[in-house]
């Protein structure tokens, strides 16, 4: 199926994963991930989400999808369709950021790398994006390793949520951030400012998927960066 405002056909598929836009009904399954304190330690403000906040984040992802043609998407197992986390892209003041977050049972299996690869292929392929960035908490080396595996290079240190993070740029991206016009998605909507550390969902922007859990789960950084979902650069669980 093609989601509103995008040229991508979902689900994106790899050997073990399916990636598709979030649906309202995903909130309970997503809350098993976002409500886990250990998973969320390096994500956004570092606190687990309530069920209501989880539903608000999903609504924020859905709005972002319509406005930009991409968002944080649900990650499911290919062999059973179980929702195990998220991965995707969002517009923040740093640029178009890659992020991902997986539930603890799925850490340490290389799944973050697999999910990130699907998102990057979609970004540089059908979405036609030319500049991708990601943030990783300086205390989360597993997140940095995942980003390096999928072609990102550390550029400089930045502050997000009052914590030091490394800002990464994808090797397939240009060295300069794109103009605002070039950051619009297939829908033609320009990046919408999200306000200091808050996203459309109303939840403080969480670091994106370049942040996983302590084991490598990459967290989504923000700080001076915020995303519609309210989450930082998306990271996930250990090396996920």
CATH code of the domain covering residue 39: 3.40.630.30
Integer Rg of the chain from CA: 15
Cβ atoms of residues 60 and 24 within 8 Å: no
What's residue 205's pLDDT?
Answer: 42
Residues 98-153 pLDDT 10s: 999 999 999 999 999 999 999 999 999 999 999 999 999 999 999 999 999 999 99
Dist CA 220 CA 208 (whole Å): 2
What's residue 4's pLDDT?
Answer: 52
Cα 43 to Cα 1, 39, 47, 57, 100, distances in angstroms: 30, 8, 8, 13, 10
For the chain, what is the largest distance between any 2 Cα atoms, rounded to a whole number of angstroms? 41
Q: What is the number of structural domains in the chain?
A: 1
Residue 228 maps to a domain: no
- First and final C-alpha spacing in the chain: 27
Residue 5 maps to a domain: no
Rounded mean pLDDT of the chain?
Answer: 79
Dist CA 86 CA 101 (whole Å): 5
Residue 50 maps to a domain: yes
Residue 155 maps to a domain: yes
Domain span holding position 153: 12-218
Residue 150 maps to a domain: yes
Residue 224 maps to a domain: no
As a three-state string, the secondary structure of 172-209 is CCCCCCCCHHHHCCCCCCCCCCCCCCECCCCCECCCCE
Dist CA 60 CA 228 (whole Å): 6
Dist CA 17 CA 174 (whole Å): 29
| Position with higher pLDDT, 100 vs 4 | 100
Residues 157-214 pLDDT 10s: 998 878 899 999 998 765 444 443 444 444 444 333 333 333 333 333 444 444 444 4
Residue 48 maps to a domain: yes
What's residue 202's pLDDT?
Answer: 30
Dist CA 170 CA 238 (whole Å): 21
């Amino acid at each position: 199926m093609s989601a509103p405002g995008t040229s991508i056909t979902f689900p994106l598929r790899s050997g073990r994963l399916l990636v598709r836009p979030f649906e309202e009904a995903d909130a309970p399954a997503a809350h098993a991930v976002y409500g886990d304190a250990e998973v969320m330690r390096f994500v956004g403000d570092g606190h687990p989400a309530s069920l209501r906040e989880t539903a608000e984040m999903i609504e924020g992802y859905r709005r972002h999808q319509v406005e930009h043609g991409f968002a944080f998407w649900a990650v499911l197992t290919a062999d059973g369709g179980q929702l195990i986390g998220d991965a995707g892209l969002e517009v923040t003041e740093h640029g178009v950021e890659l992020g991902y977050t997986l539930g603890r049972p799925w850490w340490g299996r290389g799944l973050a790398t697999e999910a990130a690869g699907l998102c990057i292929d979609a970004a540089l392929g059908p979405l036609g994006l030319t500049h991708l960035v990601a943030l990783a908490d300086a205390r989360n080396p597993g997140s940095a390793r995942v980003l390096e595996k999928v072609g990102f290079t550390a550029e400089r240190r930045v502050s997000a949520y009052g914590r030091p993070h490394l800002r990464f740029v994808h090797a397939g991206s240009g060295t300069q951030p794109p103009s605002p016009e070039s950051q619009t998605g297939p829908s033609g909507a320009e990046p919408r400012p999200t306000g200091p550390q808050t996203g459309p969902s109303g939840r403080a922007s969480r670091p994106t998927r370049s942040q996983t859990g302590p084991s490598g789960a990459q967290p989504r950084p923000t700080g001076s960066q915020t995303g519609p979902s309210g989450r930082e650069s998306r990271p996930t669980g250990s090396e996920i």
